Every structure is written in structure tokens, then in C-alpha cells.
Structure 1
């Protein structure tokens, strides 16, 4: 009597586990991109969804806004001054299917594009413009990033230059010039 009970219990447990694995649940801010035998299906929104066991695979994408502090970038301005710049980036996934199928690691790709764009935007600006008009730099950087990442299904909400360090010798020269003007 005992061996038949265990023989029946094992398949029942396996079927129960397989049945539980066929359901997925997304939070309000998540979308699941479903692959059926390697082909993409429509993304599943918030709530529960059903997957065909051993046929479907789901990849979840977080659609909340991500805040990222860019690493300090050392670059040279258009007028030849070496500067160190920090920036903050806010972005989010708007098309979960494209985020998964077009780019391998979308968050890292956005980070790399932002760091490269930051160096380019600083390189196109004079030191005076960097010090006085950061809004123009932020807009230029936003345009560059939007153009780069929109094909990946990502939306750049905002990007801002946070901190600008210039060499001490340049700071002294600027102070002497300001003093001479006064």
C-alpha cells in the first residue's frame, strides 16, 4: 500500500509544480515579453498571465524611471580646457519588446551612450558656456541621447550636468580676470 502511494504522489507533485510555473504575475510597473519557441509575442501587462510549459519563456522589463549618476568624465572643452564633469540621467523603457529584442543590455547601453554623449557635449562647448549656461548643454545632451536611444524603446526623461571641476590654475586665472575687470 505504501509504495503505490509514493508512486502516485511523485507525478502529482511534478504536475502541480509544472502547473504553478505556467502562471506569471506582473506588478503594475512590469511588462513581460513572452517568447514562444523563440518567437516574440505581445508583451503581457500588469496582472497574471499564462505560459505554455516548456514552450514559452517570459522576460520581465521594469518600466519605472531609472535614475543614474554618470561616472566622472574627464574631457577637454572646445577652447582646450581640461574639465571633470558629473551628470545625472533619468530614463525608462517605453517599448518592452524593443528593449529586449534590439539591444542586449539596455540599461548598460543607455549608460554608455550617456557617458559618450556627455563627453561630446562638453567637447562642443567653451568653458565660459559651461560655467554660465548649463541649460544649453543639458538640452544638447538630451537631444543627442534621445536620438541614440529611441530606437531601443527607451525614453530619456531628463539629463543634467551636476558638477563641473576645472583645474585650480584655471580657477585662479578666472579669479584674476574677474578682479581685473572690477
Structure 2
């Protein structure tokens, strides 16, 4: 073989290898390939080894995995005119590879911008208390609005979560004072309820002691036992107040009766 023929064979082999390399595409398991032929969409290539026509065909690969996209902190004014900084995170995935390539130029940048706008719009409809306490509803509203927009791009928003809510220092102090006042209110209410229950219990106990005088004596003995535990040098013996009052009343009644009888008797004449 002459050198010219050998050079031609080597060039042909190299050209064949180059064309073979340009015609082979590998679509991974989590991807789909959108096949363009002369600028028109021919179809979708599933995972595996795929062949295309060099120069004529183009096969961009689209990932179908869930993408985590942080939504940068947004300065938002709530419905009750409180300025807050809120950041969030969104999870989305491509459900239609053709639409994600044909319908929009850069799906990642588009979702990022529309997510920031939707976050400001949804949070701005709620007051600060609602934003702090109803995060689940806000997350659901943001996701539903994003889904209505992104489904036309072949993208489904799986989840949106508010990640961080930054409040002004003055608002933090005001909320701390409010929480402290709320705790004091609950403490006073609980103390008042306890006093009412104790007063009712004492009333029932006094009725029982009035009906059973020995119950008061037993209570006095219990008080003596409690005092003796402290080893005091002075022992205080509680007088049975109710029985003492009763005995005093009976004594005064007897004295009055005796005085009345003595006054009613005629005087004795001297002999």
C-alpha cells in the first residue's frame, strides 16, 4: 500500500470515529432526551444508549430529579404594616421534558423569579400573627399559585416551605412584652380560681364542723401534731372556739333566767 492510500485510510478511520462519537448519546436513568431534527421536535428519548444523526440531530438532556431551590430573603410588608424578612425553599421537578425545553428558555431562573414574586404577594396578604401561626396555609397557597404558572412549562412544584422569618428588634421586644403580659394574666386568673375553690372548700368544711362538733376537736388535735413537729419551745393550744361560744351563750342564758326568777319572788317580811 502506497503512503497516500494509507493516509487516506487513516483519515477515513478518524472521520468515522468522530462521526460515531457524535452520533452516540447516553441518556441516564433520571434523564430524558428531547430529540430535535433540523430544528423540529421529533420525540423523547428514554434512558439508555441512543444514536442520532450528526449535525442534523440535537439531543438536549433534561433531568427529572427533584430540584431544591432556595428562595432568597425578601423584605415584605405584612397586611398590618410590619416589615419582615422572609426566606423560603422550593422543591420542583420536570414532568414534561418537551415543554421544559420548548416553552421556556431557562426554567431554573424563571422559577426562581416567580417564586420570589409569589412569596412577597402571598405573605403581604396576611398579618404578622397569621404569618407566624399559619405557615402551613401560606406554604400551600404559594405552591398552588406556582403550580398554575409552572405546569405550562412542564414543571411541577412539589413543596414550598417558609425557612426563616426575621423580625425587627422593636417588634421582638413588643412581642416579648405582650407574651409576658399574657402570662401574668393567666397567672392571676389561675390564682383567682384557686382562691374561689379554696373558699368553697372552707365553706363546706365549716358546715361539716357545725354539724359535727367533734370534727373541730379532731382538727385541733391535728394542729397540735403539726406544731409539735417543729420542736417549738412554746406550745399553742387552740381553744375550741365554737364550743366555747356555745357554752358562754348557755351560761349567760342561765344567769339571765336566774336573775328573772329572783326578781319575780315576793320579799320576805321580818317577824
Q: Sort the TM-score into its range (normalised by shorter chain).
A: over 0.9
TM-score normalised by structure 1 residue count: 0.96
- Verify: 1:132 aligned to 2:133, yes or no: yes
Gaps spanning 5+ residues in structure 1: where? none
Gaps spanning 5+ residues in structure 2: where? 184-271
Q: Deviations over 1:110-141 (max 9, x none)?
A: 11111111111111111001111110110111
- Verify: 1:153 aligned to 2:157, yes or no: no
**What is the CA RMSD across the aligned residues, in angstroms?**
1.0
Q: Report the equivalent of 2:20.
A: 19
Q: CA deviation at 1:50?
A: 1.5
Q: Report the equivalent of 1:141.
A: 142
CA distance in 2 between partners of 1:166 and 1:157 (Å): 28
3-state secondary structure, aligned to 1:78: coil
Q: CA deviation at 1:94?
A: 0.5
Q: Report the equivalent of 1:88.
A: 89
TM-score normalised by structure 2 residue count: 0.65
| Greater RCO, CA 8 A, separation 6+ | 1
Structure with greater helix share of residues: 2
Equivalent runs, 1:1-12 vs 2, <5 Å: 1-12=2-13
CA distance in 2 between partners of 1:137 and 1:37 (Å): 46
Q: Report the equivalent of 1:44.
A: 45
Query: How many aligned residue pairs are there?
Result: 182
Structure with greater strand share of residues: 1
Q: Deviations over 1:62-116 (max 9, x none)?
A: 1100011111111111111100011011101000000000000011111111111
Q: CA deviation at 1:3?
A: 3.4
Which aligned runs of 4 or more in structure 1 are off by greater than 2 angstroms? 1-4
